């Protein structure tokens, strides 16, 4: 396990209790400023969301969300400007179509709907941001670790099953 992997891995190793690892994609113009607002106002919220700043929520490729889950995230939070507030006029209209679709794909793959959340946060809504982050952290904590990478590894992804007899017992 390289250093990168080690820091990204969310599963508890016994020594430290497991903490939810949530990736937050925040649009620069509203939601990131909203998060800034929460910080400047010294609001308290859970430290579990790793924020990725993007220029527009319409720029969030659904691929990134799948990659986040597949690489160890326990939850993904997507925040953008309210409809009508987009700095690029219609960027979040694309988000508004894509995110419900992403949610349906994730549900089809058996990922609990609580692990993926998509909300609108304006630059003034620091309070909403801190509330969302805390809510999200708690609902993901209640579900426990996702461990998708371990699941893929157990299915032989990347290495095959090495002819290890999978055994008489089916999971």
Binding site for another protein (CB under 8 A): 58, 61-63, 65-67, 69-70, 83, 90, 93-98, 100-102, 104-106, 108-111, 146, 148, 151-152, 154-161, 163, 165-168, 170-171
Q: How far is the CB of 143 from another protein (least distance, A)?
A: 11
Choice between 41 and 142, CB closer to another protein: 142
Q: How far is the CB of 83 from another protein (least distance, A)?
A: 6
In whole angstroms, give the CA distance from residue 36 to residue 125. Answer: 10
Choice between 29 and 120, CB closer to another protein: 120
Q: How far is the CB of 5 from another protein (least distance, A)?
A: 17
Nearest to 119 by CA among 138, 92, 145: 92
DSSP state of 32: H
Q: Where are the beta strands (DSSP E) in the chain?
A: 22-27, 49-54, 75-80, 116-120
Choice between 42 and 170, CB closer to another protein: 170
In whole angstroms, give the CA distance from residue 21 to residue 17. Answer: 12
Contact status, residue 9 vs residue 67, Cβ threshold 8 Å = no
Choice between 39 and 150, CB closer to another protein: 150
Q: How far is the CB of 42 from another protein (least distance, A)?
A: 32
In whole angstroms, give the CA distance from residue 163 to residue 25. Answer: 40
């Amino acid at each position: 396990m390289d250093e990168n992997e080690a820091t990204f891995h969310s599963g508890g190793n016994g020594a430290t209790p497991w903490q939810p690892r949530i990736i937050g994609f925040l649009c620069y113009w509203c939601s990131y400023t909203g998060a800034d607002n929460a910080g400047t106002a010294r609001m308290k919220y859970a430290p579990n969301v790793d924020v990725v700043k993007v220029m527009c929520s319409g720029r969030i490729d659904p691929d990134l969300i799948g990659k986040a889950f597949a690489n160890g995230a326990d939850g993904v939070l997507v925040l953008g400007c309210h409809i009508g507030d987009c700095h690029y006029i219609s960027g979040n209209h694309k988000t508004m179509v894509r995110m419900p679709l992403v949610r349906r794909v994730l549900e089809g793959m058996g990922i609990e709907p609580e692990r993926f959340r998509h909300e609108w946060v304006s630059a003034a809504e620091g309070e909403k941001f801190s509330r969302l982050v805390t809510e999200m952290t708690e609902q993901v904590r209640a579900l426990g670790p996702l461990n998708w990478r371990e699941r893929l590894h157990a299915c032989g992804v990347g290495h095959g099953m090495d002819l290890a007899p999978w055994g008489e017992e089916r999971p």
